[in-house]
């Protein structure tokens, strides 16, 4: 039997930076296409301020469209307790994700909260999420470097992971938000993280350029990582990062390459091309203000 690698499709990450609003029905149709292609883990939306991210203003409606899709891990992102209340009220979700950064500057840009403010909020939110029998996913950005003028230190990364583990967090996605990661660094960090914190499930959320992203994937794979975030067609990038043009890694290409290496992803390699074509169409129609 082939070893399984989980690809988490992140249409939320793909949509959020597009300046023109994508009609809700089209978002739902696109996510259904992802589901039909075999994706079982989908980041369907985020409960954030519509003023900050107008594209996500219809997340309640998008989530409700998949409320009966029990076979999916339905994920939504929040950045504060108000967003959590919205996510809990809408129902139909299996996991809540929260972005935490090693960079104080990026944390403020992304969540409008300082690291000092975030920590007690995390404790309160984790308690509520556990009461609703949902998973909590922590996205740890700047895990491989920090472009904001603050010195990046590997020991600070692991000190933070240690504190998160002590808080009870069991799912951490190490994120390379602005494509600074180097393959050997990726391998070393994942090897160490998985050895020192075996109770935490580590995933990877890479951004990158066409000529470099798979080297980091291979490095993480060699260290034992088996969960990767990606978007069809490589659409999207963080609108709050310094270089928003650095795209997510393309799930269509990732699935093909993983299959070539002998891994199973459960993704239909023909149908995922339709997803990538739809993503490129979104970029063409909604990518220019």
pLDDT in tens, 123-146: 999 999 989 989 999 999 999 998
pLDDT classification of 257: cutoffs 50, 70, 90: very high
Q: Where do the structural domains in the chain lie, given as residue ranges?
A: 6-286
pLDDT in tens, 41-79: 999 999 999 998 999 999 999 999 999 998 999 999 999
Write the CA distances from 20 to 163, 194, 229, 285, integer angstroms.
Answer: 40, 41, 24, 8
pLDDT in tens, 219-230: 999 999 999 999
Q: Evaluate if residue 240 carries a pLDDT over 70.
A: no
If one compares 180 and 201, the residue with the highest pLDDT of the two is 201
Contact 274, 39 (CB under 8 A): no
The CATH code of domain 6-286 reads 3.20.20.70
Decide: pTM greater than 0.85.
Answer: yes
């Amino acid at each position: 039997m082939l070893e399984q690698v989980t690809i988490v499709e992140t249409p939320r990450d793909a949509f959020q930076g597009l300046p023109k609003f994508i009609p809700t029905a089209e978002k739902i149709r696109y996510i259904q296409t992802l589901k039909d292609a075999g994706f079982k883990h989908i980041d369907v939306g985020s409960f954030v301020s519509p003023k900050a991210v107008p594209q996500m203003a219809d997340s309640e409606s998008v989530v409700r469209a998949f409320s009966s899709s029990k076979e999916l891990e339905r994920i939504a992102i929040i950045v504060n307790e108000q967003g959590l209340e919205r996510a809990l009220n809408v129902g139909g979700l299996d996991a809540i994700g929260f972005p935490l950064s090693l960079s104080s500057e990026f944390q403020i840009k992304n969540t409008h909260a300082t690291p000092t403010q975030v920590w007690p909020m995390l404790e309160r939110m984790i308690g509520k999420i556990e009461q609703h029998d949902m998973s909590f996913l922590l996205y740890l950005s700047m895990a491989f470097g920090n472009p904001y003028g603050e010195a990046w230190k590997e020991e600070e990364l692991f000190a933070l992971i240690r504190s998160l583990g002590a808080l009870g967090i069991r799912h951490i996605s190490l994120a390379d938000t602005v494509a600074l990661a180097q393959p050997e660094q990726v391998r070393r960090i994942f090897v160490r993280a998985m050895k020192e914190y075996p109770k935490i499930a580590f995933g990877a959320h890479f951004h990158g350029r066409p000529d470099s992203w798979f080297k980091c994937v291979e490095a993480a794979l060699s260290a034992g990582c088996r969960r990767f975030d990606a978007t069809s067609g490589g659409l999207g990038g963080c609108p709050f990062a310094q270089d928003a043009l650095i795209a997510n890694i393309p799930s269509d290409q990732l699935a093909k390459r993983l299959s070539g290496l002998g891994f199973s992803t459960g993704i239909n390699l023909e149908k995922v091309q339709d997803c990538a074509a739809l993503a490129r169409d979104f970029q063409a129609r909604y990518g220019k203000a």
